[in-house]
Amino acid sequence: MTRVRDALAGRRFFITGATGFLGTALVERILRSIPDSQVVLLIRPGRRASPMQRATKEILKNDCFDRLRQELGDGFDAAMADRVSAVPGDVATDGLGLDDDGLAAMSRCDVVVHSAASVSFDSPLDAAVEVNLLGPSRVAAAFVAARTLAESDGRTGPVHYIPVSTAYVAGTHQGEAREELLDANPFTVEVDWRHEVSAARRQRGDSEAESRQPARLVEFHRSAREELGGAGLHLLAERAERLREDWVKKQMVAIGQARAQSLGWPDAYPYTKALGERALVAQFGDTVPITIIRPSIIESALAEPRPGWIRGFRMAEPIIISYARGLLREFPGVPEGITDVIPVDLVVAAIIAVAGEALDHIGSDDPADAYAGPSVYHVASGVRNPFRYGRLVELVTAWFQEHPLYDQDGQPIVVPEWSFPGRGRVQRQLSRASAAMSLAERVVGSLPIRGKRAEWMAALEEQHLLADRALGYVELYGAYTETEALYRVDRLLALWDRMDDDDRTAFCLDPGVIDWATYVREIHLPSIIEHARVRTAPGKSITTNRADRARKNILSPDRHVAAFDLENTLIASNVVDSYAWLASRHLPPVERAAFVADLVAEAPSLLALDRRDRGDFLRSFYRRYEGAPVARLHDDGWDLFHHLLLAKSFPAGIARVRAHQALGHRTILITGALDFVVEPFRPLFDEIVCASLGVEDGKFTGRLEQLPPIGEARALVLADYAESEGLRLEESMAYADSASDLPMLQAVGFPVAVNPEAKLAAIARRRGWHVETWHKADGGSQPLLPLGPVDRRGAARRGRTSPAARAGEARRLAAEAGR
Amino acid sequence: MSPRPGFVLDVDSSTPPTLFWHGERFSLETLPEGSRVIYAPEPIDPLRDPQAAIRHALTHPEGDRDPLPALLFSGMKLTIAFDDISLPLPPMERPDIRQLVIEQVLDLAAEAGVDDVELIVALALHRRMTEPELRHALGDRIYDAFAPNGLLTQHDAEDPDNLVFLGATDQGEEVEINKRGAESDLLVYVNINLVAMDGGHKSVATGLASYRSLRHHHNPETMRRSKSFMDQHKSELHSSNWRMGRLIRDAGVKVFQIESTLNNDTFPGAFHFLQKREWEWKAKDRLGFVAAAAALDRVPARHARKIFHSVRAPHRMTSVQAGEVEAVHALTTAHVWEQQGVVVEGQTDILTMGLPYISPYNVNSILNPILVACLGLGYFFNLYRGKPLVREGGVLIMTHPTPWEFNPVHHPSYIDFFEEVLSETTDPTVISERYEEGFATDPWYIHLYRTGHAYHGVHPFYMWYWCAHALQHLGAVIIVGGDAKAVHRLGFRAASTLADALEMARDVVGTSPTLTHLHAPPILMADVQ
C-alpha cells in the first residue's frame, strides 16, 4: 500500500462542482483509485430531479465512468449507491443552502474539495461574484459548522479544505508567479472584496430597473416581432421578456469585464477568483486548514480515466473548431509565447495527493508535518514543460490538413495558414465578419424567401453565432495566449518528489510527462472533434441521418394527429394567386392585362399588409369577392384546383398527408384560404378548418363569417379538435412554413417546418425542429402569372387581334420579361 | 411519283450522320460502318376527298352491318364514342378526323330525327380531356352544341352508376363497360388508327371499360405473351380484347365501328427534315436542322417542350371504313401496314432508337421517366411483326434526357410509383402483386382521375407492364444522355454518349455486334424475316 492511498482509504470526501469537468473527473478518480472511499456531493436541486437523480444522470452516467463501470461489472450500481450520496445545496447561497441532513453528511466527511466555479467567460458579474468570490468562503463557513456539529457528537469532522482556484489569479503580467498567497503578490491592486460584492449586487438592481424603462420595453417588443413576425401576442410577449433578461445579462457581463479590466484583470473570472481567495484567507485562514489548488487551462485527460476524456465544450475547443471550419482564420498570439495547458487528470491527481498528504500529516509527531497556515499549489505546465504557442499552431494546422473537416457538400475545408496577428487585428476581422453577417441577415430576413434559401439563411445565422462566439473567445482568451506570466511549480514538484513510486503511478501529477505532440495529435484533437459532432468524412451528412430519424419518428403508428397549413406548405400558392386566377378566368384579354397590371402594382402593399397582420390582410383582401356569384366560384374552385393549385403543389407534401392517413393518423387542414378553394382537398383530410364568406342572394358579401384560423387561433382549433377526439397533441405533428404558425407548431410534440421562411428557419434550427424541403414537380405547367385560361368564346367575340389586345399582350410579355 | 416504300440503309463510309431524337432536342450521330438504319415509307397519298370517303363508308358498311342511315330512327338512343387525346400523335391540324366523321354521323342522325344523342370520350383510365383539347378534336360547333347541355361526357371508369357488367368470357375475363354506351340502341365508335395496336374490339372493350375489366389483359403475363402487341394475331392483349368484344356483341350491344388511318406526314414545314432521309437533305433541310437544333439548345427544356407540343401534324386520312368491328378492322390493319411496314432481314445485337418528346400519355405534358421507359420498351420495341428487331439477350440503346420530372396534374400517381414502387423493385410481376391494388383503389387518385385531368392511379403500372415483354427479352437497356439517377431508378444504365453506350453494350453482346437503328418517328413497323 502506498502513502496517499493509505491515508485516504476509507475516507469520505465532500465535493462541490461535481457536475463540472474537473469535478466529474475527481469523483471518478476517488471512487476508482481510493479503496473504500466515499463521496458526498453538493448538488443544486433541479426542478424535477432530486440531487441523487441529478448525480446519477449527470455524473455517473458520463462516459468518464465507463472504465469504472467496466471494472465493477454488474456490481457498479450497487457500489455507487453505497459510496456516492448527494445533498441539496448551492454555493451561491449563504450556508450553502444545506439542510440539517446535509450539514450532518458534511460533518461526517474528512476532506472538502470546492471545485464549483463559474468559469464561463460570459458570466454576469453578480453571478461570478456569488460563486467565485463568495463561494470559497461559504464552503469554509459550512466546513466550520460541520466540524462544530461533529465535535458536539464527539467526532472529528472535516479536517482539510481544498478550494480550486486558477493560476490566473496571479495576473497575466510578465514574469514569474510563485505558489504563494495573493497578499504576498505585489502586482495586485488592493480592493475591499466586501465593497465589490455590494457594488455587483447593486448593479444587478440598476440594470434590472434600466431594462424596464418604457423605451427599452418597446425596443424588446420590436425585436421580438422582427424575429417572430406575427406569431401572436403571447409568444411575442414571451420572447420580449427573454430579450429583456438577455439584455440585463449582457449588461452585467459588460460591467464585470469593465470592472475587472479596470483593476488589471483580463476579465471577471480571475478577478472574482482572486478576490475569493483573499476573502477566504482573510476570514478562515486561521481557523480552517486550507490548501489552494491553482490549475492553468484545464484540457482533456492525458491518461485517466482514458486519454482524451473531456466534458463539455472547454476553453480552446470552440476556437479550434472555428479554425478548422475555416471560420476563424487567425487567433492572436505570439509564436514564442507559452500556452499553459494542463490535462485534467494531472489536476485531479494533484488534489488527491494534496489531500492524502494533509491527512497523512494529521496525527504525525514530526513538527515539519504540522499545518503552517494556508498554502498554494500551481498545477501548470509552463515552467516545467513549456508548450510554445507557435508549436501548438503548427501541430493543429498540420493535423487538420491531414484530417480536414467537411462542409455541407462533403468537400474538405482547407485550414488557413496562421500568421500570428495581434489581438486587435483579429478582433477587427471578426467584428467585421460579424457585422457583415448581421447585415446580411437583416437584408435576407426582410426578403420573402423560404425553403432551402431560408435554411441557408438560418445557417448564416448559426455562422454568425459562431463568429460572435469566436469573437468572444478572442476577446476573452486572447489575454491568456498573450500571457507572459510563468506559473512556477516548485511546491508541486516537491510534492511529486515526496511521493513514492506507487503513488506516482497511481496519481501522476508531473507536467513533465506530457509529450505535447502526442497530446495534441493523438489525444486532444481527436477527442474534441468527436465531441464537436462535425463532419469528418465526405459522404452522407449527419443531418441527413438526423432527418431520417426524425421522419421515422413522425411516421410512427403511435402518433395521433397531423395538422397541415396549406399555402407554401402543401402548395406554392397563396390567396392572392387564387383570387387572380378566379377573377381573371372570365375576363377578356384586354381586361386581363389591365387586371394583371393593377395586381402587380398592388403586390408590395399587399405583401406588407400580410406581414403586418395576417387577419387584417385576409379580411381586407377577401372584400374583393363581394358580389361574386357563389355557384360559379364553387365550380371555378375545382378548375382552380386542377389547373393551378395541383400544378403548384408539392407532391412530397401530398404524399406525406397520405402517408399519415395510411398510418391511421387523423389529418387536419388549417388554413386561412376560402372554403371553395380548399374543397377539392377534402379527400386528404379528416377535417378542414378554413375561412368562409357570407352569402346573400347567391352572392358573396365579401365579409368573413368568422375569424379565419390564423396565428394563435390555429393552435386553439387544433387543441379543440384533439380534445374533442380524445387525441394527444404531444403525439401529434404540425406542418407549417411561417413564423406566424409558431403557436400551432409549438402546440404539438412533432413540429415540422416546411420550406420555412427565414424567421421560421432560424427558429427551427435553434430548436432542432425537423425541416422538410418540398419542391413543386418540375414537369408541371408553371405559369408565370396565376391567370385563369382564356375564355375562348369571349375572346372570339371580342376579336383576339384587336390593337388593344395586342397592346395588352405586349404588356404581359414585358411583365414576364421583367421577372 | 408514287411514294417510296420503307428502306433499310447499310451504313458505309459515305453515309452522313444519322438523326437521333433526344426528347425535345435531336443530335446527329455517326453509326459504325455496317450498321443498319430503318426508315419508314414515305407518306402515302391521302384520300382526295375525305368527306366523300366518310359518306361512302357510312353508307357502304363492311361486314354484317346495315348502312348507318338504316340503323338510325326517331326515338332511338344513340351514343357516339371516340378516341381520346392519346391519338393521333402529334395532334393533327384542324379539322381533326373525329370532327369530320362525327359531323357526318350527327347529320345523318338529325335527318333520321334522332333526339337522344350523347358523345362520350373513350378514356378508359386516361386523363380527362380539357375544353381546348375537346374543341380541337370535335370542332367548336359540336362542342358548343353538346358540352353545355351535359351531352358530351368523358367515360368515368370509377362511376358505379354509369357502368354495367355484361358477364365474363370463357377465360373468366369480366366485362364491365360504360352503361350509356351499352344500353344505347346504337353505339357508334369513331377511331383513329395510328398504330396497328389500336382499334378493333379494343376500342370499346378497352376504351369504355373499367379497372375491373382492364386488369384481365393489362397485366405482366398478358403483355409477355403479346409478341408483339402491335401484331394482333400474336398478341394475347388482342385475343383477350377480342373475346371481350364478342361477349359485348353477344350481350346485344350494337356497335357501328368507324375506323380511319392516317399517312405518316408527321411534321410540318420547319420540322420537315425530321421525316426525310439524311443523305437526301436539301439546303433547306440542313438549314432547318441547324436552326432548330441551335434554337432548341438555347432555350430551357420547358420552352422547347412548349414549342414541340404546339406542333400540329399535317397527317392526312388514307382510309376510312365503317360497319362491323372485325371486318372493318381487318381493312384498317392492312392500311396501317401499307403506310408503316418495312421488311427487315434478321435480328440485331444492338437496337438503337432516339426517343421523341411525345407518347400517347403525355400530350401537352412531359414525358416523365416511366413514360420514357414505356415509349422505348413498350411502344418502339414492339413495332415489329415476326421477331423482335433485337435478338434475345441483345441491348437496347435509347437517347432521351429522361429528367426526373413529372406533371403533378396529369401524372400524380406516377410520382408516387416512381418514388415508392420502382425504388423497391422493377420486376413487373412483383410490382403487380405487391402494389397494384393499393394504387388502383386509392381514393385520392380516384378523386383526381374523376374530377381533374389525372391518369388513373393504376396507369403507371400499365406503363410498366407495357415494358414487360422487352424487359424479359433484353440483355441490357442503356439510355444515352439521361439523368443518371432517374435512369438507375428505372433499372437501366446511363451513358453520356452513344460511343460510351456502345462500349457498355459490347460487354453484353460481344466485341463485334450488329447494330440497327430504328429511325422513328415517323412511325414504322418492322416486318422481321
In a domain, B431, yes or no: yes
Backbone angles phi, psi at B220, to 5 degrees: -60, -40
Chain B residues contacting A via beta carbons under 8 Å: 131-132, 135, 144, 302, 365-366, 368, 403-409, 411-412, 415-416, 419-420, 443-444, 447-448, 451-453
The pLDDT-based confidence of B520 (bands split at 50, 70, 90) is: confident
pLDDT of residue A426: 62
Q: Are residues B66 and B177 in the same domain?
A: yes
- Mean pLDDT within A707-722: 87
Do the Cβ atoms of A373 and A292 come closer than 8 Å?
no
pLDDT tens-place string over residues A587-645: 777 777 788 778 778 877 887 777 777 788 888 888 888 988 999 999 999 999 998 89
> Please, what is the Cα angle at B91 between B85 and B93, to 5 degrees?
135
In a domain, B335, yes or no: no
In a domain, B296, yes or no: no
Does residue A259 surpass a pLDDT of 70? yes
pLDDT of residue A803: 38
Q: Are residues B33 and B62 in the same domain?
A: no
C-alpha cell at A414: 482547407
| Highest mean predicted confidence (pLDDT) among A161-175, A475-489, A568-582, B383-397 | B383-397
Beta bridge partners of B174: B168
In a domain, B321, yes or no: no
Q: How far apart are CA A677 and CA B431, in angstroms?
A: 36
Domain count across chain B: 2
| Highest mean predicted confidence (pLDDT) among A306-315, A532-541, B518-527 | B518-527
Chain A residues contacting B via beta carbons under 8 Å: 638, 641-643, 646-647, 649, 651, 654-655, 658, 680, 683-684, 776-782, 789, 792-793
Nearest CA in chain A to B410: A780
In a domain, B213, yes or no: yes
C-alpha cell at B20: 437521333
Least confident piece of the model among A62-71, A667-676, B165-174, B455-464: A62-71
Least confident piece of the model among A423-427, A679-683, B136-140, B272-276: A423-427
Mean confidence (pLDDT) of chain A: 82
High-pLDDT (> 70) share of chain A, %: 80
pLDDT of residue A799: 35
CB contact under 8 A, A779 and B368: yes
C-alpha cell at B357: 418528346
Q: pTM of the prediction?
A: 0.72
Q: Are residues B23 and B95 in the same domain?
A: no
Q: Which of B131, B407, B444 sits opposite A777 (nearest CB)?
A: B407
- Mean pLDDT within A381-387: 87
Does residue A580 surpass a pLDDT of 80? yes
pLDDT of residue A582: 85
pLDDT tens-place string over residues B48-70: 999 999 999 999 999 999 999 99
How many CB atoms sit inside 10 A of residue A490's CB? 13
Residue B219 structural domain:
50-262
State the smallest CA–CA distance between residue A813 and chain B in angstroms: 15
CB contact under 8 A, A778 and B404: yes
Domain containing B416 — which CATH number?
A: 3.90.226.30
CB contact under 8 A, A777 and B135: no
State the smallest CA–CA distance between residue A729 and chain B in angstroms: 26
Q: How far apart are CA B90 and CA B17, in angstroms?
A: 25
Q: Are residues B251 and B349 in the same domain?
A: no
State the smallest CA–CA distance between residue B465 and chain A in angstroms: 23
In a domain, B300, yes or no: no
CB contact under 8 A, A651 and B365: no
Residue finishing a domain among B196, B230, B262: B262
Which one of A660, A661, A678, A781 makes the best mutation probe of the B interface by having the most chain B beta carbons within 10 Å? A781
Q: How far is CA B178 from CA A53, B124, B128, B175, B184, in A?
A: 72, 10, 15, 10, 10
| Locus of grid cell 407492364 | B465
Q: Are residues B21 and B58 in the same domain?
A: no
Residues listed for chain B: 529
Residue finishing a domain among B262, B280, B300: B262
pLDDT tens-place string over residues B133-152: 999 999 999 999 999 999 99
Q: Which of B132, B403, B453 sits opposite A642 (nearest CB)?
A: B453
pLDDT of residue B233: 92
pLDDT tens-place string over residues A327-339: 666 666 677 778 8
Q: Which residue has the higher pLDDT, A653 or A502?
A: A653
Q: Which residue has the higher pLDDT, A310 or B224?
A: B224
The pLDDT-based confidence of A808 (bands split at 50, 70, 90) is: very low
| Locus of grid cell 346495315 | B66
Q: How far apart are CA A710 and CA B38, in angstroms?
A: 64
- Using a CB-CB cut-off of 8 Å, the residues of chain A touching B448 are 642, 646
Q: Are residues B116 and B214 in the same domain?
A: yes
State the smallest CA–CA distance between residue B124 and chain A in angstroms: 20
Q: Which residue has the higher pLDDT, B56 or A55?
A: B56
pLDDT tens-place string over residues A1-41: 458 888 888 899 999 988 888 999 999 999 999 989 999 99
Q: Which of A680, A684, A778 sits opposite B451 (nearest CB)?
A: A680
The pLDDT-based confidence of A439 (bands split at 50, 70, 90) is: low
Q: How far apart are CA B519 and CA B352, in angstroms?
A: 9
DSSP state of A46: P
Q: Are residues B113 and B208 in the same domain?
A: yes
pLDDT of residue A621: 87
Domain containing B196 — which CATH number?
A: 3.40.50.11440
Task: Please give the span between the terminal C-alpha atoms of chain A, in angstroms, as a whole number.
Answer: 84
- Using a CB-CB cut-off of 8 Å, the residues of chain B touching A642 are 409, 448, 451-453
Q: How far apart are CA A137 and CA B358, in angstroms?
A: 86
The pLDDT-based confidence of A663 (bands split at 50, 70, 90) is: very high
Q: How far is CA A421 from CA A28, A334, A475, in A?
A: 41, 8, 14
Contacts of A598 (CB under 8 A, 6+ apart): none
Do the Cβ atoms of B216 and B170 come closer than 8 Å?
no
> β-strands B384-386, B525-528: how paired?
parallel
In a domain, B291, yes or no: no
> β-strands A699-704, A693-696: how paired?
antiparallel
Nearest CA in chain A to B369: A779
In a domain, B447, yes or no: yes
CB contact under 8 A, A777 and B408: yes
Q: Are residues B76 and B178 in the same domain?
A: yes
pLDDT of residue A806: 37
Nearest of B223, B219, B206 to residue B123 by alpha carbon: B206
CB contact under 8 A, A651 and B416: yes
- Using a CB-CB cut-off of 8 Å, the residues of chain A touching B405 are 777-779
DSSP state of B228: T
pLDDT tens-place string over residues B99-133: 999 999 999 999 999 999 999 999 999 999 999 99
- Mean pLDDT within B397-422: 96
Q: How far apart are CA A782 and CA A509, in angstroms?
A: 71
The pLDDT-based confidence of A795 (bands split at 50, 70, 90) is: very low
Q: Which residue has the higher pLDDT, A575 or A217?
A: A217
CB contact under 8 A, A792 and B135: yes
How many CB atoms sit inside 10 A of residue A148's CB? 12
Q: One-letter amino acid identity for A65? A: F
How many CB atoms sit inside 10 A of residue A206's CB? 13
Does residue A781 surpass a pLDDT of 80? no
Q: Are residues B125 and B17 in the same domain?
A: no
CB contact under 8 A, B447 and A683: yes
- Mean pLDDT within A123-131: 86
CB contact under 8 A, A649 and B443: no
Residue finishing a domain among B201, B231, B262: B262
pLDDT of residue A296: 87
C-alpha cell at A636: 371555378
C-alpha cell at B204: 370499346
pLDDT tens-place string over residues A73-109: 888 889 888 999 999 998 888 888 888 998 999 999 9
State the smallest CA–CA distance between residue B238 and chain A in angstroms: 33
C-alpha cell at A461: 445565422
State the smallest CA–CA distance between residue B131 and chain A in angstroms: 10
The pLDDT-based confidence of A429 (bands split at 50, 70, 90) is: low
Nearest of B46, B520, B13 to residue B267 by alpha carbon: B520
Nearest CA in chain A to B366: A779
Q: Are residues B25 and B88 in the same domain?
A: no
Backbone angles phi, psi at B118, to 5 degrees: -130, 145
DSSP state of A571: B
pLDDT of residue A212: 92
Nearest of A761, A739, A759 to residue A445 by alpha carbon: A759
Q: Which residue has the higher pLDDT, B213 or A192?
A: B213
The pLDDT-based confidence of A466 (bands split at 50, 70, 90) is: low
Q: Are residues B219 and B366 in the same domain?
A: no
> β-strands A38-43, A84-88: how paired?
parallel
C-alpha cell at B368: 416523365
CB contact under 8 A, A683 and B404: no
Task: Outline where A487-588 has alpha helix (H).
Answer: 490-498, 501-506, 516-518, 525-532, 542-554, 575-584
Q: One-letter amino acid identity for B443? A: P
pLDDT tens-place string over residues B281-311: 999 899 889 888 888 888 888 888 988 999 9
- Mean pLDDT within A315-324: 69
How many A/B residue pairs have CB atoms within 8 Å?
69
Q: Are residues B125 and B30 in the same domain?
A: no
Does residue A119 surpass a pLDDT of 80? no
Mean confidence (pLDDT) of chain B: 95
Does residue A395 surpass a pLDDT of 70? yes
High-pLDDT (> 90) share of chain A, %: 27
High-pLDDT (> 90) share of chain B, %: 90
Q: How far apart are CA A34 and CA A691, in angstroms?
A: 72
State the smallest CA–CA distance between residue A647 and chain B in angstroms: 6
DSSP state of A67: H
Does residue B174 surpass a pLDDT of 90? yes
